[in-house]
């Protein structure tokens, strides 16, 4: 088998070999090349020790990531390459990272400590593919299978349990039976893993072509209740409403799959109805309603995203989409839409529409989403015409109002609110002179 290695990577392999060492590309890059995908990055494994790697690349810019882990990053314009000494990890005391790393002289030992067979192959031009654990066959059979005993691999690094689900989702693969059973058996150990590492895997699942596959796998393998117990409550939750064909969990999965792969939208899709199990009321006709589930969803999703240590800006964006997700029910004319743009923001308004399209589409098979495409066009028209929808677009500011003699404080806000309301109705009023005139007429003696 011959795999295509770009020149800037080949150059590093060549240099290591010229100095008498072995060197291979390894892991994800080999997997992706065999699959015909472009690797996101290339990792190299070698029997050269970290000091030797540094010496060989002393004319290059290098970064020693951690001498004890044996990784030297070689920086090149085309991309950074991690060059790591063959290693044998031992004694994972806490199931998170090895307490001590032992370097090895054998590529076989390095490959045998890796997580999955499809990630445990190495390649270079002279030796070809080194595939000791039938990774290539598992790639053909679309199988995620640990190298050796899954219990041992998962004990070494518990995150691998979630990685199995992540790779299965990204690649559309199955998890081999024994590996799968060990995921369920050892899933509780994920509680020991840092929120950041869990978050990164979860985000990769969410950004894949079919996130529902991964979320369903989490549920099937009893991992969901460990990572996001709030979602577990939606499983099988009957909405008792003719407008909603699916239970809450199935609806959420459908919405996530039907949104574009933008993290904030996918997160909002995942959590938009998370408040439903706590807000169900049933009317006289036996129909279910979920008043306030959007508000509760905002609070719950904020808590979850905080727990996952997401940045505040991301939390706010997701919360805002969830807060507004029910506005597709309202019959909004230009004025209402401008208010909506001002609440959601010009940059995020189309994300909201995408969420709403998916939400509506997944409610029942007869759902008509044409009005949301029309709403999208209407919003675009408002933005194209540059019609004001928020106070900072007014041709007059709070300072101007104070300069007219009004007292700093509440009244300034009231005046701006009044002007905004009028300008939203009649954009032609947005001229300084006209606005000043309006203020003086309407707020004659008030608080001057």
CB within 8 Å of 263: residues ≥ 6 apart: 203, 206, 207, 314
| Residue 159 binds to ligand CTP (criterion: CB under 6 A) | yes
Determine the interface stretch with ligand CTP among 115-123, 215-223, 265-273, 438-446 (rule: CB under 6 A): 115-123
The residues pairing with 414 across neighbouring beta strands, listed in sequence order, are none
CB of 338 to ligand CTP, least distance (A): 43
How many residues interact with ligand CTP (rule CB under 6 A)? 12
Pairwise CA distance, residues 184 & 161, whole Å: 9
* Whole-number CA gyration radius for the chain: 29
Determine the interface stretch with ligand CTP among 95-103, 111-119, 234-242, 289-297 (rule: CB under 6 A): 111-119
| Residue 266 binds to ligand CTP (criterion: CB under 6 A) | no
| Residue 115 binds to ligand CTP (criterion: CB under 6 A) | yes
Q: Among 36, 40, 385, 441, which residue sits at the site for ligand CTP (rule: CB under 6 A)? A: 40
Determine the interface stretch with ligand CTP among 2-10, 95-103, 112-120, 298-306 (rule: CB under 6 A): 112-120
| Residue 114 binds to ligand CTP (criterion: CB under 6 A) | yes
Determine the interface stretch with ligand CTP among 136-144, 153-161, 215-223, 265-273 (rule: CB under 6 A): 153-161
Q: Which is nearer to ligand CTP, 159 or 355 (CB)?
A: 159
CB of 130 to ligand CTP, least distance (A): 13
Q: Which is nearer to ligand CTP, 208 or 301 (CB)?
A: 208
CB of 21 to ligand CTP, least distance (A): 20
Asked if residue 234 lies in contact with residue 276, where contact means CB atoms within 8 angstroms, the answer is yes
Pairwise CA distance, residues 171 & 169, whole Å: 6
CB of 30 to ligand CTP, least distance (A): 8
CB of 166 to ligand CTP, least distance (A): 8
Determine the interface stretch with ligand CTP among 152-160, 208-216, 249-257, 361-369 (rule: CB under 6 A): 152-160
| Residue 28 binds to ligand CTP (criterion: CB under 6 A) | yes
| Residue 301 binds to ligand CTP (criterion: CB under 6 A) | no
Residues of this chain that interact with ligand CTP (CB under 6 A) are 27-28, 40, 43, 114-115, 119-120, 157, 159-160, 163
């Amino acid at each position: 088998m011959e795999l295509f290695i770009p020149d800037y990577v080949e150059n590093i392999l060549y240099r290591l070999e010229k100095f008498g060492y072995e060197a291979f590309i390894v892991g994800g890059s080999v997997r992706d090349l065999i699959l015909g995908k472009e690797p996101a990055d290339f990792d190299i494994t070698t029997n050269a020790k970290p000091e030797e790697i540094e010496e060989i690349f002393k004319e290059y810019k290098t970064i020693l990531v951690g001498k004890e882990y044996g990784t030297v990053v070689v920086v090149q314009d085309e991309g950074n390459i991690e060059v790591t000494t063959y290693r044998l990890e031992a004694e994972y005391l806490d199931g998170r990272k090895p307490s001590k790393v032992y370097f090895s002289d054998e590529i076989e030992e390095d490959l045998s400590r890796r997580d999955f067979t499809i990630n445990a192959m190495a390649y270079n031009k002279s030796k070809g593919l080194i595939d000791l654990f039938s990774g290539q066959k598992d790639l053909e059979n679309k199988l995620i299978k640990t190298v050796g005993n899954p219990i041992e691999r998962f004990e070494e690094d518990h995150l691998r349990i979630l990685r199995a689900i992540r790779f299965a989702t990204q690649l559309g693969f199955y998890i081999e039976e024994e590996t799968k059973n060990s995921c369920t058996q050892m899933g509780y150990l994920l509680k020991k893993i840092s929120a950041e590492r869990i978050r990164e895997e979860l985000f990769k699942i969410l950004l894949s072509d079919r996130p529902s596959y991964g979320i369903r796998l989490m549920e099937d393998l009893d991992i969901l209740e460990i990572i996001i117990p709030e979602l577990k409550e939606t499983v099988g939750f009957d909405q008792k409403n003719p407008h909603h064909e699916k239970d809450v969990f199935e609806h959420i999965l459908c919405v996530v799959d039907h949104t574009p792969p933008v993290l904030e939208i996918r997160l909002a899709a995942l959590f938009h109805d998370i408040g439903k199990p706590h807000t169900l009321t049933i009317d006289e006709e036996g129909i279910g309603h979920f008043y306030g589930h959007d508000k509760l969803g905002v609070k719950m999703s904020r808590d979850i995203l905080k727990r996952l240590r997401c940045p505040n800006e991301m939390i706010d964006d997701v919360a805002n989409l969830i807060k507004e997700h029910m506005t597709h029910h309202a019959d909004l004319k230009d004025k209402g839409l401008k208010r909506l743009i001002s609440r959601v923001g010009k940059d995020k308004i189309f994300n909201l529409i995408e969420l709403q399209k998916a939400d509506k589409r997944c409610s029942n098979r007869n759902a008509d989403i044409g009005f949301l495409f029309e709403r999208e066009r209407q919003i675009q028209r408002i933005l194209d015409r540059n019609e004001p929808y928020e106070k900072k677009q007014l041709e007059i500011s709070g300072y101007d109002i104070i300069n007219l003699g009004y007292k700093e404080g509440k009244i300034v806000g009231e005046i701006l609110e009044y002007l905004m309301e009028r300008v939203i109705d009649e954009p032609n009023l947005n001229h300084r002179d006209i606005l000043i005139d309006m203020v003086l007429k309407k707020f004659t003696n008030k608080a001057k």
